[in-house]
Amino acid sequence: MNYQSIRAKLEGPLLTAYNDQAPAVPVYFDNITFVPPDPPKEYVRVNVTFGMMSECALTNELDFARGAIVIRCFAAKSNGPARCQQLVALAKQVIDAINSTPKAANTTYVRVKDITGPLFSSMEDNPHFVGKIEAGWQATVK
């Protein structure tokens, strides 16, 4: 199974959406568990995890995978929660677009399940206000 094709279906549209903002919002994927040393005013962190790697199917031509996606949006505390809400809303729009993409033959097909959140938080030692949404996903790879 080509897990990179699944990641591309989830991460690609998010990267494009945040890069299209004026100014562009930096996006960090996985393995970032701390605030960067010189953090930008705002940024987005996306974690894609894989759970069930394959399921039994009636044919060997298809592979199935499940997992979760967590999107954390960081906005400067000086901008308050409003900007953080805008960044989270953009992530939700992207997920809605992924879910409305028609299924094409011989390709990776991903659907994101119900979204949990948004949850907002602010820590004293972090210069950012944080908004988080998460959801399960499932994919079929041909």
pLDDT digits (tens, 9 = 90+) for 83-133: 999 999 999 999 999 999 998 877 889 999 999 989 988 877 777 889 999
Q: What is the mean pLDDT of residues 55-79?
A: 77
Give which of 91, 93, 80, 69 is closest to 120, Cα–Cα.
Answer: 80
- 5: Cβ–Cβ under 8 A, 6 or more apart, which residues? 107, 108, 141
* CATH number of the domain enclosing 118: 3.30.2000.20
Give percent of the chain with pLDDT exceeding 70: 84
Residue span of the structural domain in which 119 resides: 3-31+39-141
Instruction: Return the ∠ at Cα 106 (arms to 103 and 108), rounded to 5°.
Output: 60
**Residue 10 parent element (H or E):** helix 3-19
Q: Residue 70 and residue 77: Cα distance in Å, rounded?
A: 21
Domains contained in the chain, number: 1
- The pTM score is 0.86
